[in-house]
Each structure stands twice: as structure tokens, then as C-alpha cells.
Structure 1
């Protein structure tokens, strides 16, 4: 990439990011671009509290980008022939019949029949404090499995309903099939072979020192997000450096060629969101814009990862703020960057 081209990108990134950062007092934003084998990294906000730590080694909660790690694990096992996308989840969950209509692909594409936002259940949960429920999950694990026991077959595979519980159950199934817990399964099959030393759930003391405090609303500091039952839906923490390396594997630009090839399984369309948007294993595929993406947010963090369908470039944005429904977001930044990089 030429010097002039790099300078122009730096200026454009600054222009795209500044409206977001200027409205958030404690914002620490890490932005990364992969293009033509080159990695560009940008940090915004006050980095002084972190000493000599560069922006690409700061640790954030990545929220639902965790889901792409979960579905990438599924893709590896499918590519190896160990599992099939149409395997019934009844093969793995003893509470469900062996021929249950919901498959692993249904969980990965949010088409299992689990409701995205069960209004009546959410209202009831406000008055029921007797049971633990993971953040952003309306069903306990037992409740979700009970719901699946009775889901009408006609509802399965027909409609996209974004479900934290569904991907969480998928992560639980995959880890159980591998004979371990979710964090260990991700570490062994993805983090170690891809060399992602700062991606996980449990942090060392040194990693805790690099964790950026999370915020929401009007600069209110928020507690860490802990998921007990549905780790595969959003429990991972990571750095921009690790996320760019993970993305490089999906772009086919990582030294582990075999793993790169196996991850292609996740980028195939297995379901539909709408007329112009299909769903891979975890990935959302915008067929009109020709890009693939996923985002994530927790109590005090948000992130965006996306790449062009021809895998020529990709971007990652990590923020220590959870955005409100009507406020500027990392999604806007991510989409603007994807549009920027399409230009010659």
C-alpha cells in the first residue's frame, strides 16, 4: 500500500471515528484494518492510563463476536467430518429425543424456533428473582431446553430470530462433545493454533491490567459481564491484535492454511434473514453490499467485525462503550469503513 494511500486511510478513519469518540468522555477505541496482507491499527481516546501498552493489546469484552468463535469451532468439526450441520441436537442433549427437528445449523443460524425477544417471558422475569439468568438471556438453560422439547416442528428453520440462548446451547454442545468446557475447547481448537494469546474468558493479573473499563449511557462505568450457562453466546474477552489475527484466518491470510480452509465452511449460507441477507454459521452475509459481518455488545463494551465477500479486506472495531438504541455506534463506524475500503 502506498504512503499516500495509507495517509488517506488514516485521515478517513479519523473522520469516521471522531463523531463517536467526541461524545464519550472515557472512550478508548481500537480500530484495525486488514488489506492486501497489511495490518493498520489506530487508537483513539486517552491511552495514558495504560502506560506503554499499545491500543492493539488492550483487552475488551467482545460480546456476541464470541458467537463467531463458537460457530467457527462448529465449522472446523464439520470440515473434519466429525459433525454434520444437519445433526439433530437430540444426539447431544439427553433431555431431547434423538430425532429432534432442531439441528446444529439451526442453532448457528438463529432459526431453531427459540424466540428472539419473548415479551411475556421478559415481563415475568422481572418479578422472578429466584433463578439465575445470564445477562441478555430470558431463559435459564433448563427453561430453554424445556422450550425446545415442545417447539412445533413447523417453527424450526423457517424464521430468523436472534437468540443468545441458541448459540449458548451450541457452545455447550460442542464443548461437551469434545469432552471439556467452552473456554478450553475454544483455546485448544482456535486460540492455540491461530496464536491468540489474549482471547479467553479468565484473565491473568497481567491481562486484567490491560482491561479497559467499560461504560454505558452518560459515561456510567459498568461491571464486567459474566455468563455462566451460555458462554458461547458472548463471554470472550480479547484484543484488537487477536481479533485481527482471527479475522485474517477467515480471510485466508493466516499461516495455518489448513485451518483457514476449514473455516470457509462458516461463510456458506445456511439460512436466511431476509431477501438480501443470508446467514452463515454465525456470520451475517449482506448479499447486496457483498460483505460479511457480526457485531457484539455487553454491559459496557461493543465491537464490530466485517470483511468483503471476496475476502480482499476486513476491519475490526472495539469500543469500551455500550451504545444506546438511538445513539452512534461501532456498527456505523464498521459499515463506513467497509464502504471506504471498497473504493480503489
Structure 2
């Protein structure tokens, strides 16, 4: 009799747990269904319109990760895109560079107020004496160009910097620039006494728990390295160049890149110094056209309209010099923001975005460099499919 009564007393709790479990599964299934539909509807037209051979989309929703693969990594071999496929992410690499430099700052190896000449002695006595590492990280050094001139190589780049003269006073204008963020990363590596590539591959990527991310893809992983496709449809991969590692050199999978996005929203489980370093990259220093410039990451008040994102990622902002509003004091990292970064190489196009307050994020990788507005609209469509409670 006692056993029977006990069974009857436990039954309601057991049923309640069962119902809650069923509801959680049903909710997860609903999110999965919404995501799959929204992703298919956003991605398949892009692939058709721009003849993109392959794409990978990863979405994180409050700690749950969803990865969707499309098409092929190589038209020649027919190898399908899968979770191991490596894509070039172009300028999203800058966010890794910023994280490494921020880590150096958190360890006391450098200060953002320092001039680069402190760590690159050959620049002492040049125009960079009046430029801070923060100016380099936020593209406000005074007019460094988008790309190095064609005749600048890794061997003569320091001479290029020594001969450079600004168009504007540092901190007054923003001009998006590979040489700017490149020198930022180069100086950060010098402050730590180790070559940049080694720091990324042997220290930062392992600390971030990224096992599928590289500066230089090892021989055994080359079969997973997708081919990009040029405007003419030719298979291409990024070529070495001055400051390529620091500015646009990372190759990774959608699964690994979404882990980096998750670390930017919630770094628990990572080294505490690295957690602080990641958070510091979300500090806002300058504003232009509704966008707040952090360390490589670009931020918008959330909720945000897609037109605002398009304006902040427009050619006007990406390719021209713009007067900026300096934020004094800098804006502390906050959660109610849309944080994003685009990236491109000759054969690849990428986008990453996340909203810490909602704990949602997305990465979209493709082996063709298709227009940035289409990336933003696709990401926005997929992210807004998650509107409504998801806890």
C-alpha cells in the first residue's frame, strides 16, 4: 500500500516534468522550423542571382547552435559544403586582430593611447608619433587608404608607413583602411614579443576554443579549404600581401565562427583576461552615420532598421573619409546593440552579426563576393524570424 501511495504522489511531478520537457522540445522544434524556412528563403535566391557555388549559415539562439550548408565548396571537384568547410572571411579577420590587441592591453603589454612607434621603433620620428593605437584600430589615423599601393609588399611596408603623411588631424575623420588595422595588429604582436601569425594560431585561436580556424591552412586541411570564385567565375584564393594576416587573413568554418560570435556575447568558460579583452572590443569610440565604431566591430542601437544597417555599411562609409563624432568618454559596452562586421576577398563574401541582449547571432559565409546589401538583408531576415520569446 505504501508503494502504491508513493507512486501516486510522485506521478503529478513526473507528469509536470514530462510536459515541460515536451514543451521545451516543441519550442526548439518551432525555432528550428522558423530558422530553416527563413534561411532557405533568404539564401537560395542569393545563390541563384549571383551564381554563388556554396554557402554556410550558422545561427546561435540563446546557446543553441544551428548550421545550414548549401551547394559546393568547389565547382571543379563537386565537393559539398559541410561543417568542416573553410571559407575566407576577409575583413571579419579584423575582429580577431582587435581581440588579440585588446588581450595585449588587458595584460599590460600595451595601451591604446600609445603611439605605434613605441612598439615599431622604425616609425619613431614619423607622422605616427601623433597617432595612437586607438586611431589605428578605429581607422581615424588621418587618412590611411583602404588598400596599400600596388608596389607595397611585406618587405617595404615599414618604409611606406614612414613616408605617409595624414590628410586630417588624428581622431577627426574615419577612413576604413587595411593598412590602419594592419599596423594596429603588427604593433600589438610586437608588444607581446611574438610574430602575429604565431600568436593567432598558437595562442588566440586555442584560447577561443577554435579548432577549425587558421591564418595558414595546414596541408592536411587543404581538402576542406573552399575555392572562391571571381567575377569571371574563375577559382581563386587570397594571395599573400602586406599586412594580409592582420587585415583579412583568417580562414574558418561557419561552425567555428559562430563560436567566436557566442564568445562575444557570453565568454563564460574562457580565460578571464580574454573575457575582458573581448568585452573591451565592444567599447564605442566614434560615431558616423548611425554607426558606432568599436575595435573593428561596428555597432548600432537595437532594435535597428535594416536601412540603418545599409547606411552604415554603404560605399559612402566604407570607401570615403567621413567626419566623426568622438565619444568622450568612450561608450561602455552594452547589450542592446546590433554588432556586425562584413568581410570580402576576391572570391569570398562574409557577414557576422549578433545582439547580446537577445543572445542571437549569425554568420553567413559564401565562396563568391556578392553585394554587401544582400548579405545584410539576408541576415536581417533570418535574425528577425526569431522575434518573439525564445527563452
Superposition deviation, residue 103 in structure 1: 0.9
Superposition deviation, residue 313 in structure 1: 1.1
| Compared CA separation, residues 273 and 151, structure 1 to 2 (3 A) | same
| Compared CA separation, residues 236 and 39, structure 1 to 2 (3 A) | same
- Are 1:2 and 2:2 counterparts? no
CA RMSD of aligned residues (A): 2.6
Within the candidate set 6, 14, 17, 2:43 is matched to 17
SS at match of 1:23: helix
SS at match of 1:55: coil
Superposition deviation, residue 58 in structure 1: 0.2
Superposition deviation, residue 92 in structure 1: 1.5
Within the candidate set 300, 314, 317, 2:364 is matched to 317
Partners of 1:267 and 1:47 lie apart in 2 by 33
The number of residues matched between the two structures is 324
Query: What does residue 324 of structure 2 align with?
Result: none
Alignment of 1:1-344 (within 5 A): 1-25=27-51, 27-46=53-72, 49=77, 55-97=82-124, 100-117=129-146, 131-133=151-153, 140-147=157-164, 150-151=165-166, 155-256=169-270, 258=272, 259-274=274-289, 276-287=290-301, 289=304, 290-310=337-357, 312-323=359-370, 329-344=374-389
Normalising by structure 1, we get a TM-score of 0.85
Cα deviation per residue 1:92-116 (whole Å; 9 max; x = unaligned)?
1223337822111111111111344
| Compared CA separation, residues 144 and 239, structure 1 to 2 (3 A) | same
Normalising by structure 2, we get a TM-score of 0.75
Partners of 2:279 and 2:360 lie apart in 1 by 15
Partners of 2:73 and 2:177 lie apart in 1 by 35
Superposition deviation, residue 171 in structure 1: 1.4
Superposition deviation, residue 177 in structure 1: 1.8
Superposition deviation, residue 26 in structure 1: 5.0
- Contact kept, 8 Å, 2:56 with 2:69, in 1: the verdict is yes
SS at match of 1:70: helix
Superposition deviation, residue 198 in structure 1: 2.3
- Contact kept, 8 Å, 2:90 with 2:348, in 1: the verdict is yes
Say which is worse superposed, 16-25 or 109-118, in terms of deviation.
109-118
Query: What does residue 128 of structure 1 align with?
Result: none
CA radius of gyration, larger in? 2
| Compared CA separation, residues 262 and 169, structure 1 to 2 (3 A) | closer
Partners of 1:6 and 1:324 lie apart in 2 by 27
Superposition deviation, residue 132 in structure 1: 4.3
Cα deviation per residue 1:312-342 (whole Å; 9 max; x = unaligned)?
11111111001257xx643332233333334
| Compared CA separation, residues 161 and 47, structure 1 to 2 (3 A) | closer
Cα deviation per residue 1:21-72 (whole Å; 9 max; x = unaligned)?
1124452100000111100000111469576x86221011111011000001
Partners of 2:240 and 2:382 lie apart in 1 by 31
Query: What does residue 333 of structure 2 align with?
Result: none
| Compared CA separation, residues 85 and 222, structure 1 to 2 (3 A) | same
Cα deviation per residue 1:279-336 (whole Å; 9 max; x = unaligned)?
11110011252300111100101111111142611111111001257xx643332233
Partners of 1:230 and 1:155 lie apart in 2 by 26
Partners of 1:333 and 1:145 lie apart in 2 by 42
| Compared CA separation, residues 339 and 141, structure 1 to 2 (3 A) | farther
